[in-house]
Amino acid sequence: RLKSHSWIYTGEKPFQYSKCDKSFTHMNSIDTHTRTHTGEKPLQCSQCDKSFSKMSGLKSHRGIHTGEKPFQCSQCDKSFTQMSTLEMHTRIYTGEKPFQ
Whether 99 is covered by a domain: the verdict is: no
This prediction has a pTM of 0.64
pLDDT at residue 4 in the model: 63
- Domain coverage including residue 8: 2-38
pLDDT at residue 49 in the model: 95
Question: Along the 100 residues of the chain, how does pLDDT read in single tens digits?
Answer: 566 666 677 888 888 998 898 999 888 899 899 999 999 999 999 999 999 999 989 988 998 899 999 999 999 999 998 888 999 999 999 887 777 6
- Statement to judge: residues 53 and 32 lie in one domain: no
Whether 32 is covered by a domain: the verdict is: yes
Instruction: Give the CATH number, domain containing residue 34.
Output: 3.30.160.60
How far is C-alpha 65 from the geometric centre of its chain's CA atoms?
19
Contact 41, 47 (CB under 8 A): no
pLDDT at residue 100 in the model: 65
Residues in the chain: 100
